[in-house]
């Protein structure tokens, strides 16, 4: 599998782009003419620079408004093409993209276009180059790959081929199965892009909202399965026009791009086992059956405060690490909820504490096979995490995650870590407060990073993302998107993550990122089967819930037609409520711990699938009231 990416997909000047593309492991680049024109160097120098990075130029583009012109414009188009072919010789590339004409002067006619391409094929041959024809979704006469293929077929010239672009085909909802009838050797290059489903002008959608395969809503896998069936074995090239990417980090966008291609081809290989698709072998996407633990880094003083809060939630200190300053708090039957508090003065936890303050820096996921999980993550370019171990300590496989955090993988064999590395604490275990499991983990990040982490989670794990929703913070929008494992989506135990992208620092989420210097886990939600009993038990233990404004329940009573006694039961305990087609949801929150971290308690009844999103503005308002004295701007 040969991977390529268009220079237009990432930010920076040409030199920065090439460095980022090479570092991410691509084989080639599409050079956009504008990137070349803006660069202070000759075509030969640009070509040499590309090759110095170990890359090849897979394509030079774009060449517009070529086919179907009357004279004298037709002769002018050939003259322009000749100049570009000479430039391509200097750059050292042999393929040029010609997109279907949008010129009002173009006459149309498949045979006229084919005749133009046949003549251009002779000119290309004389220069030792090839041309590929791409149907733009908004092309004047040709806007469908089937018509572009017919032009290429009738041109019947070895130097003229077809270029397929997933966006142009999928945006127009053209049946991808039609690609299977095209000979693979007549396809000169395949361009790939995804996009979120938005109903808008095709050109505007394409130029601003494309994203990496797997980040959007288009069936790029279906498109690529059809391409693979043709026998095409040339480069797979990302051509992503996205305003955010053009302002983002070139390195991380390039890494995302390469990850998206490897993940895509792995999916295609699994979906088309009869085709010999050359993709690095790796384990299939990993099923996650739950969160085994969450680990906090803290100093001793804050660890005490955290411990008091955990006690008030019914957790018991059950074990301490044999060699390190690490304590385990537990609640619930079976494997239950494990919260680890690490106050070591060395190692990664300590570094994390120094940077972020007390924070939930690590998550342990329950998987069937920890080693296989790391193998897949590594194949997808994730950063492997390893720490030096003391004698007798287990090597728990891990990778780096959002916000510089760590994700550990615990399979059944590794779950022995609790017995091997930890010494039970003699104190008796309390009766708890009915908290059973971790319902979800909420991670906050800058909005620009959301797609990166969505792709990360959905490529490595057997999870799917929900549509993005906007959460209104009085100071700005926070975008929220849910990632759930198949099991969790079916209502069972599994992985549920809510990712929140903050656009500015004045929102609660943005405040949390700024004040914790980019920490990611902003809240943890625990599940109970009886939220009223849990709330009462926690109140008896000294837990202080987040106080919600009284107006909320008046509105709720009206909205859901609650009887006054029920409303009072909720109001009394600061429990919020939501409903969907499947069932009911109850939730209450703790107060802020540090700079905006908090705990949440939830009860799902029936088949409720959501996270109480309609209640988020009330929660945020209450939290902002609580932290305003510490310098939060009034909004
Ligand atoms: Mg294209
Ligand atoms: Mg929540």
Per-position DSSP letters for 159-179, written without gaps between them:
TEEEEEEHHHHHHTT--GGGG
Residue 45 has pLDDT above 80, yes or no: yes
The torsion angles phi and psi of 307, rounded to 5 degrees, stand at -60, -40
Q: Name the band, by pLDDT with cuts 50, 70 and 90, for residue 81.
A: very high
Ligand nearest to the CA of 498: 2
Percent of the chain with pLDDT over 90: 75
CA 456 – ligand 1 centroid, Å: 25
pLDDT for 65: 97
CA 50 – ligand 2 centroid, Å: 47
- Give me the half-sphere count of Cα atoms (radius 13 Å) on the Cβ side of residue 49: 19
DSSP single-letter state for residue 315: -
CA 599 – ligand 2 centroid, Å: 8
Strand partners, 612: none
CA 245 – ligand 2 centroid, Å: 29
Beta-strand relationship, 359-367 and 288-297: antiparallel
Beta-strand relationship, 95-99 and 130-134: parallel
- The kind and range of the H/E element at 544 are none
* Cβ pair 230, 183 in contact under 8 A: yes
pLDDT for 373: 95
Ligand nearest to the CA of 620: 2
Q: Do domains 3-271 and 435-626 have the same CATH topology?
A: no
Judged by average pLDDT, the poorest of 45-54, 75-84, 130-139, 591-600 is 591-600
pLDDT for 410: 95
C-beta contacts of 270-277 below 8 A and 24+ residues apart: 271/221, 271/225, 272/225, 272/228, 272/229, 275/228, 275/229, 277/1, 277/228
Judged by average pLDDT, the poorest of 148-162, 441-455, 574-588 is 441-455
CA 239 – ligand 1 centroid, Å: 6
pLDDT in tens, 475-484: 888 889 999 9
Judged by average pLDDT, the poorest of 134-143, 279-288, 353-362, 374-383 is 353-362
CATH 3.10.180.10, domain 288-424, yes or no:
yes
- Three-state DSSP at 32 gives strand
CA 625 – ligand 2 centroid, Å: 19
Ligand nearest to the CA of 602: 2
Q: What is the mean pLDDT of residues 296-307?
A: 94
Per-position b or e across 9-37, b if 16+ CB within 10 A of its CB: bbebebeebbbbbbebbbbbbbbbbebbe
pLDDT for 632: 47
CA 616 – ligand 2 centroid, Å: 8
For 156, counting Cβ atoms within 10 Å of its Cβ (0-12 exposed, 13-18 middle, 19+ buried), the class is exposed
The torsion angles phi and psi of 416, rounded to 5 degrees, stand at -65, -15
Tokens 């750059």 correspond to 91
CA 224 – ligand 1 centroid, Å: 15
pLDDT for 38: 84
Ligand nearest to the CA of 590: 2
Q: Which two tokens stand for residue 470?
A: 């906007």
Tell me the C-alpha distance between 35 and 8, whole Å: 7
Ligand nearest to the CA of 64: 1
DSSP single-letter state for residue 100: P
CA 561 – ligand 1 centroid, Å: 54
Nearest to 593 by CA among 550, 548, 555, 623: 623
- Which carries the bigger pLDDT value, residue 391 or residue 422? 422
Does this model's pTM top 0.95? My answer is no
C-beta contacts of 325-331 below 8 A and 24+ residues apart: 326/422, 327/303, 328/293, 328/418, 328/422, 330/429, 331/432, 331/433, 331/435, 331/526
* Cβ pair 238, 255 in contact under 8 A: no
pLDDT in tens, 187-239: 999 999 999 998 899 999 999 999 999 999 999 999 999 999 999 999 999 99
Ligand nearest to the CA of 192: 1
Residues sharing a CB contact under 8 Å with residue 37, sequence separation 6 or more, in sequence order: none
Q: What is the mean pLDDT of residues 328-357?
A: 90
Tell me the C-alpha distance between 592 and 211, whole Å: 36
Tell me the C-alpha distance between 571 and 557, whole Å: 11
CA 149 – ligand 1 centroid, Å: 15
Residue 395, CA distances (Å) to 169, 385, 408, 422 in order: 47, 11, 10, 14
Name the CATH code of domain 3-271 (choices 3.40.430.10, 3.20.20.150, 3.40.50.720, 2.130.10.10).
3.20.20.150
- Which carries the bigger pLDDT value, residue 276 or residue 519? 276
CA 574 – ligand 1 centroid, Å: 53
Within 10 Å of residue 140's Cβ, how many Cβ atoms? 18
Ligand nearest to the CA of 613: 2
Domain boundaries, the chain: 3-271, 288-424, 435-626
Residue 629 has pLDDT above 60, yes or no: no
CA angle 193, 194, 195 (to 5 degrees): 125
CA 440 – ligand 2 centroid, Å: 7
CA 134 – ligand 1 centroid, Å: 7
Residue 465, CA distances (Å) to 207, 402, 438, 451, 486 in order: 24, 16, 19, 11, 10
Tokens 């998550």 correspond to 363
Q: Which two tokens stand for residue 617?
A: 């503005």
CA 598 – ligand 2 centroid, Å: 10
Tell me the C-alpha distance between 523 and 498, whole Å: 9
CA 613 – ligand 2 centroid, Å: 8
* Cβ pair 602, 455 in contact under 8 A: no
* Cβ pair 83, 51 in contact under 8 A: no
Percent of the chain with pLDDT over 70: 98
pLDDT in tens, 115-150: 999 999 999 999 999 999 999 999 999 999 999 999
The torsion angles phi and psi of 124, rounded to 5 degrees, stand at -65, -45
For 595, counting Cβ atoms within 10 Å of its Cβ (0-12 exposed, 13-18 middle, 19+ buried), the class is buried
Residue 633 has pLDDT above 60, yes or no: no
- The kind and range of the H/E element at 506 are none
Q: Name the band, by pLDDT with cuts 50, 70 and 90, for residue 472.
A: confident
CA 25 – ligand 1 centroid, Å: 22
Ligand nearest to the CA of 615: 2
pLDDT for 429: 73
Tell me the C-alpha distance between 414 and 293, whole Å: 13
pLDDT for 456: 95
- The kind and range of the H/E element at 300 are helix 300-312
* Cβ pair 365, 495 in contact under 8 A: yes
Residue 183, CA distances (Å) to 178, 233, 279 in order: 11, 11, 21
CATH fold of 435-626, please? 2,3-Dihydroxybiphenyl 1,2-Dioxygenase; domain 1 (3.10.180)
Strand positions, DSSP E, 541-592: 576-579, 583-589
CA 561 – ligand 2 centroid, Å: 24
pLDDT for 631: 47
CA 302 – ligand 2 centroid, Å: 23
- Those residues whose beta carbon sits under 5 angstroms from the ion ligand 2 are 525, 600
What average pLDDT does the structure give for the chain? 92
Q: Name the band, by pLDDT with cuts 50, 70 and 90, for residue 628.
A: low
Beta-strand relationship, 463-465 and 576-579: unpaired
């Amino acid at each position: 599998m040969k991977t390529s990416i268009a220079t237009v997909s990432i930010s920076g000047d040409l030199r920065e782009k090439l460095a980022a593309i090479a570092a991410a492991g691509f084989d080639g680049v599409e050079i956009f003419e504008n990137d070349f024109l803006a660069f202070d160097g000759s075509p030969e120098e640009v070509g040499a620079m590309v090759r110095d990075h170990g890359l090849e130029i897979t394509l030079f583009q774009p060449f517009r408004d070529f086919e179907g012109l009357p004279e004298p414009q037709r002769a002018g188009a050939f003259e322009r093409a000749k100049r570009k072919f000479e430039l391509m010789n200097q750059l050292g590339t042999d393929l040029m993209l010609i997109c279907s004409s949008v010129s009002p002067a173009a006459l149309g006619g498949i045979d006229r276009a084919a005749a133009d391409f046949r003549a251009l094929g002779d000119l290309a041959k004389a220069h030792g180059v090839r041309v590929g024809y791409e149907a733009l979704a908004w092309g004047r006469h040709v806007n469908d790959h089937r018509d572009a293929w017919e032009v290429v077929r009738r041109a019947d010239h070895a130097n003229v081929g077809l270029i397929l672009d997933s966006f142009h085909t999928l945006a127009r909802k053209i049946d991808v199965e039609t690609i299977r009838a095209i000979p693979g050797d007549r396809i000169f290059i395949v361009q790939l892009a995804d996009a979120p489903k938005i109903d808008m002008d095709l050109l505007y959608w394409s130029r601003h909202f494309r994203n990496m395969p797997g980040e959007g809503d288009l069936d790029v896998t279906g498109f690529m399965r059809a391409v693979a069936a043709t026998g095409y074995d040339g480069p797979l090239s990302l051509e992503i026009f996205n305003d955010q990417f053009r302002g983002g980090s070139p390195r991380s966008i390039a890494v995302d791009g390469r990850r998206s291609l490897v993940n895509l081809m792995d999916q295609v290989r699994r979906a088309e086992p009869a085709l010999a698709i050359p993709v690095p072998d790796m384990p299939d996407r990993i099923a996650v059956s739950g969160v085994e633990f969450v680990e906090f880094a803290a100093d001793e003083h804050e660890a005490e405060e955290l411990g008091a809060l955990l006690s008030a939630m019914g957790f018991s200190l059950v074990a301490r690490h044999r060699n390190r300053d690490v304590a385990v708090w537990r609640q619930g039957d079976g494997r239950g909820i494990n919260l680890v508090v690490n106050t070591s003065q060395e190692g990664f936890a300590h570094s994390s504490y120094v940077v972020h303050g007390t924070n939930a820096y690590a998550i342990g996921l329950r998987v069937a096979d920890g080693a296989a999980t790391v193998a897949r993550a590594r194949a997808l370019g994730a950063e492997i995490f390893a720490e030096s171990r003391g004698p007798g300590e287990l090597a728990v496989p891990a990778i780096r995650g959002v916000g510089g955090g760590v994700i550990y993988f615990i399979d059944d064999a590794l779950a022995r870590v609790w017995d091997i590395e930890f010494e039970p604490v003699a104190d008796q275990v309390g009766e708890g407060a009915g908290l059973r499991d971790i319902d979800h983990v909420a991670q906050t990040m800058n909005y620009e990073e959301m797609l990166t982490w969505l792709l990360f989670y959905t490529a490595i794990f057997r999870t799917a993302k929900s549509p993005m929703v906007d959460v209104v913070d009085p100071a700005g929008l926070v975008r929220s998107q849910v990632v759930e494992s198949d099991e969790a989506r079916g209502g069972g135990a599994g992985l549920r993550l809510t990712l929140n992208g903050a656009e500015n620092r004045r929102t609660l989420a943005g405040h949390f990122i700024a004040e914790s210097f980019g920490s990611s886990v902003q809240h943890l939600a625990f599940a109970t089967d009886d939220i009223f009993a849990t709330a009462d038990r926690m109140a008896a233990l000294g837990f202080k819930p987040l106080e919600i404004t009284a107006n909320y329940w008046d509105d709720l009573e009206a909205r859901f037609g609650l009887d006054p006694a029920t409303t009072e039961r909720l109001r009394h305990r600061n429990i919020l409520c939501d409903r969907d087609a499947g069932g009911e949801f109850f939730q209450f929150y703790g107060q802020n711990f540090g700079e905006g971290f908090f705990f949440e308690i939830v009860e799902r009844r029936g088949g409720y699938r959501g996270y109480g999103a309609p209640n988020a503005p009330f929660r945020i308002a209450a939290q902002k009231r609580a932290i305003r004295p510490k310098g939060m701007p009034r909004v």
